Amino acid sequence: MARHLQLRSPVIERPLTEWGTIAAELAGCQIRFVQGARWHHRVIEAGSDGPPLLMYHGIGGHAETFARNVRTLAEHFHVYAVDARFHGFSSKDGFDASRMYDDLADGVIDLIDALGYHSVFFEGESMGAQLGVNLALHHPERFDRMILNAGFYLNRPDRDDFAPATRGNSDLGKLSALAVMEPTTENVRNRLRWLVSDPDRMTSDMVSVRRKIYSDPEVNQALRRIFDPDSGTFVRHLYDLSYTHEDMKAWTPKTLVLWGEHNPGNGPEFGEYWADVIGAEFYAFADAGHWPQWEKPDEFNAVVTQFLTS
């Protein structure tokens, strides 16, 4: 199986009650729009001379996903937490469900070029991790190292005997549709609580930020195209695509796969399997769900820093 990353020093996770609001944690960061050759990209940026690190959120998300990570990681890297194409306040034109990940990848390359880099570090969470798979297979020369957090939903494993997840995901489609169709505080909170192992870890502040973003007419229209809530299925087009083991033989970026112990849908054994397939290292966060960067931010920041600087 995949080699497990071992932290050189133990991490004492500070109580989550000691973390500030999103605005407080991002104090000193720059929020700006980067105009690429084809699209504009909203980024939360910090850091100066370190190597570039681009961070991409999950489906329906936005750059604030990494509010507890940007400033700490900026001590070592020039960090860009990004609103992916079709999400947040980045460009939303040209959506085609049948080629969503190719289009997302084109957006990443457009941003890298606009920032003036040849290659970067990449970290992706959920949809962002699956985006990383596309990028690694189609644009490997643009990525020095990759960190993929709980993705690989589109691939066909050659086994089906993975240990069951401790949490299911059967209600994800309903929660997502409600949050998009009616972005009330309750609906958005319920969707965000799906991401964490303990619902109390999802703050009212994050709920407020996401509700504000989802209530923007242009953002909401784009999310309706992505989630297609009227169809009664949860982003079916995202699951129709697949990579094979033969495809994965082309993998070249040095990679770390992350997983939460209580990730809904697929447990850590599934993540470790895919880390082994692509020759990646693997790290599992105890007592965390789909958002270890939010639930275990000190440990997450230490893991990311060690992998990218080793």
| pLDDT given at position 234 | 57
Per-residue pLDDT band for 168 (boundaries 50, 70, 90) equals low
With a cut of 80, say whether residue 242 has pLDDT above it: no
Q: Which pLDDT tens digit goes with each residue over 173-214? A: 889 889 999 999 999 999 999 999 999 999 999 999 999 999
Per-residue pLDDT band for 241 (boundaries 50, 70, 90) equals low
Provide the b/e sequence for 242-274 (b: ≥16 CB within 10 Å).
ebeeeebeebebebbbbbbbbbbebbbebbbbb
With a cut of 60, say whether residue 129 has pLDDT above it: yes
| pLDDT given at position 245 | 83
pTM of the model: 0.96
- Return the closest-CA partner of residue 166 out of 286, 17, 45, 3: 286
Report the C-alpha gap between 296 and 290 in whole angstroms.
11
Report the C-alpha gap between 234 and 232 in whole angstroms.
7
With a cut of 90, say whether residue 117 has pLDDT above it: yes
Could you tell me which CATH number the domain at 16-171+242-309 has? 3.40.50.1820
Please check whether residue 215 is in contact with residue 183, taking contact to mean a CB–CB distance below 8 angstroms.
yes
- Return the closest-CA partner of residue 280 out of 302, 244, 307, 309: 307
The one-letter amino acid at 298:
D
Q: What is the mean pLDDT of residues 141-157?
A: 86
Mean pLDDT rounded to a whole number for the chain = 92
Hey, which residues does 28 pair with through a beta bridge? none
| pLDDT given at position 265 | 79
DSSP conformation class of 16: G
Q: What percent of the chain has pLDDT over 90?
A: 80
Q: Which two tokens stand for residue 219?
A: 């953002």
- Return the closest-CA partner of residue 208 out of 21, 59, 45: 21
Q: What is the mean pLDDT of residues 247-262?
A: 94
Q: What is the mean pLDDT of residues 22-37?
A: 98
